[in-house]
A and B are shown apart, each in its own frame.
Chain A
């Protein structure tokens, strides 16, 4: 008795939940209305069957529940009824399947003369490549991937020279322009998924897969990896920005070609040393940092990391948050570096600084500073989450976009972790890899955990990063 009533109530509750649920598909932003339509048709059909079957179940229980004075019927088979049920079910299933197959047919037939973009996945980042003026992507190979050539493009392939490279997690697309997305993975399986576009597909190492769609709404959409790709899977995010035709052209013009990325001025270390003069008062003559001035250690950090951070300060990507007082200071100072070349020079100079005896003393002193009160043994357990990218010895890893941490001042590491946790750093949309740290830093649940991991990092030897 109760069970029958409960089933009726569950059916009602399910329907109510369905119709009042605020959790529903994101507004469609592509041409795939047909997918939404198929879902809606299917939902109505399966919903109706669910309601009918459940209510019939409840009815049967109510009507035929145990009664001493009644006997059950004896009817082993009823071939007519069974035949009808088979036919009706078959027709219902066919009616659901047919539109699905038609739409699948559309999904796998890519329109001719479509624009092409390559999306490259790696643990745990996205990057993109456009074919350039010739409309052809250059050949690639895993073996060619290096710090110079992160896409692994074959320099001997003429088609590759004008390929436009987007070493960032944000891709722009032009509105109403059908696009075929070629998917390539450098390491493990990934999945290209933008909920608003509806379509998704795995990236398979060793193969090129694809999806196609036409973005139909301006906006910035979050790209998620939806195939488990290791520990930081949940941080593998990117963005797809759908631009108007004009904005898209402006963006295109800003992209370097592959051949341009291969040519860069040799950084002038002597020039960098001169430029560094204006930084000495805070960061120290040897780039050793100074806690009294809230200046982190810079000596021996990798060029690409210094370059990126200095650019961020200049471009108001870092050091803009009202709570980031020292960052604001740095943002103001960074304008002294008047060109990209200047940034390159000073980065090269700082990278060339090998910790001198004096600064090594300073590092030892840091270890004994009251800031580093954590338990390094416990910290080691937390650090295993960081080691995937930053390295077992916190030496940093260009391929993972992870800076060196070893040898950095404890108070600075702690302040940055806190800044990530509170969204003071890394929250700016243009901070490419900051979002990942915002997500990862939350693994450290409390102050003590932060202290522990910082102490562990401090206990690691401060070796120079191996340069490629």
Chain B
């Protein structure tokens, strides 16, 4: 028996006991697939709240003084909650808690996460963090309106809406979220390192896994900075410490604090905040790589470079944080360092874009809905990445920082682009969950509305930034340098935003309708090579693989291999079983994938 303890997970016999009751199957489930769906539904639901909040903000900006329910306090509250929900509770939770959970065990050929109970706990704690966050809408003073960056001193002083219960609930919710994330994150990393099927070397993993893997490590290293800053701010607020609070006034009254540094918070926040960008971006990079390869029937170009680029971006993301603080009043000499690192990170990022393009080059591109969203991603990400090159170049940030240019930039690069990938991924993997396709017609409508609509929102928004229109302004009023036409432009942006929001209803309808009535997809409908499509039952059931775990013989990108009959070879297909074209019967195995 002592020997059994050392048996690799891939060699262990199936000991899982399958749940039988409704509760243990769908509610208190330890099945990673169910937990993934729980995460996804919660994240999308709370994301819809954030979408509505952004709509309210846009109404005020587009048509100021028309809507009496939006006053300066509630405007700031909408801005803050929209930002925080989208970044943390939607994107991070959906990409890692949702897709990470669903795909890791299936793609590496494992029965489940290595710590299924912890995985379940992770979801319920995440749900708790969401409830605590939403509770702040119902407390006196409402949710915090400090901006999603929650900068002290104003976040905890009475000149800011929600400076009492609202900010405390926000900080508590973040702390709870981080607990949930840590449980999930340790699980994802351990599972990828320990539970891969035989033959699944790290350099054979699909890029989706690489993106999720590195993003999770980033999260485990970055979230603690947010956790401590949340705790320190709670202390400043509740027990009167002065971590972030120098001697100051608040609405004319002298406070007891002294000696603290508001900039310390900014460093802690962005030490988390910048890696957070890549916690969202890397899984998206990974998933879009796989969608592009599969739907273009071609191997991902430059796989090894793609992997190293993900790792390099992950590493560099920890040394660029202060580019969010060029005009914060930090030591100005930091500008040289952070501008340089920021522009260096553009190099591996640019290489990824080239490699996506070169994957499409000489491919056989099926313009399916997932592929359309992936193409939309390449376009919006290129746009957003390039404006990032401008903002990262420290002097350019002087006029543009804190204007709508920044808002437009980060929405292109970490709003629209990852969401394009999320939709690509949902349309792509939906058959794996349900055995049915999402409706193609509704999907195309959804794509065009989202792609064109978001561009109509964000392209013009950059120009408001050039003009110098500041962000987080409830209203501009009559400002000398802002022409009337800027208001017209703002109204146009709002109309586009409302259209985009409504188009998302089509997506929701599509998901609900297709779950029950969608066209049956059959096994492996996209003819993909990766393991998640090769399970014994389709869609995969609890335990994923039945008695026998799969064995992997090649990388995940054997598409259109010359002289092979099919245009894809599943990772777990034994070389002997690969069928060659009649004329090439004498071909030996392995020529196609010598490197991997």
Contacts and interface: CB of A to CB of B under 8 A. Distances in A.
A and B bound?
yes
17 contacts: A10-B455, A23-B489, A32-B398, A50-B386, A57-B360, A64-B360, A66-B364, A72-B363, A85-B350, A108-B335, A142-B248, A187-B251, A189-B154, A195-B468, A198-B398, A207-B261, A388-B159
B364 to A, nearest CB: 4
B260 interface: yes
A42 B570 CA distance: 45
A101 interface: yes
A195 B481 contact: yes
Interface residues of A, number: 119
Given A64-B364, A64-B365, A97-B343, A39 B299 contact: no
B181 to A, nearest CB: 26
B76 to A, nearest CB: 7
Nearest to B66: A445
Nearest to B479: A222
B115 interface: no
A77 B71 contact: no
Most buried by B among A39, A230, A398: A230
A46 interface: yes
Interface in A1-60: 1, 3, 6-7, 10, 14, 17, 21-26, 32, 34-35, 38-39, 42-43, 46, 49-50, 53-54, 56-57, 60
Most buried by A among B67, B252, B366, B459: B252
Interface stretch (A86-94, A298-306, A344-352): A86-94
Contact of A71 (B65, B299, B332, B560): B560
A342 to B, nearest CB: 29
B390 A39 contact: yes
Interface footprint category on B: 35 or more
Interface in B385-424: 386-387, 389-390, 393-396, 398-399, 401-403
A226 B252 CA distance: 21
Contact of A193 (B65, B297, B470): B470
Contacts of A255: none
B592 interface: yes
A365 B422 CA distance: 64
Interface in B309-329: 327-329
Contacts, number: 363
Most buried by A among B72, B246, B346, B560: B72
Contact of B402 (A43, A183, A193, A204): A193
Interface string A62-93: 00111100111111111001100110011001
A230 B154 contact: yes
B537 interface: no
A209 B399 contact: no
A23 B486 contact: yes
Interface string A321-356: 000000000000000000000000000000000000
B130 to A, nearest CB: 25
Contact of A228 (B346, B398, B472): B472
Contact of B367 (A3, A142, A221): A3
Contact of B396 (A42, A191, A193): A42
Nearest to A97: B343
Interface of B: 64-68, 71-73, 76, 145-147, 151, 153-154, 157-161, 246-254, 259-263, 296-299, 301-305, 327-329, 332-333, 335-336, 339-340, 343-344, 346-347, 350-351, 353-355, 357-358, 360-367, 372, 375, 378-379, 382-383, 386-387, 389-390, 393-396, 398-399, 401-403, 452, 455, 459-460, 463-464, 466-468, 470-481, 483, 485-486, 489, 557, 559-562, 567, 592-593, 595-596
A206 interface: yes
A445 to B, nearest CB: 4
Given A234-B72, A446-B68, A72 B402 contact: no
B389 to A, nearest CB: 6
A29 B367 CA distance: 51
Interface stretch (A407-415, A435-443, A456-464): A435-443
Given A75-B301, A86-B351, A107 B398 contact: yes
A385 B73 contact: yes
Contact of B299 (A76, A89, A385): A76
Contacts of B259: 206
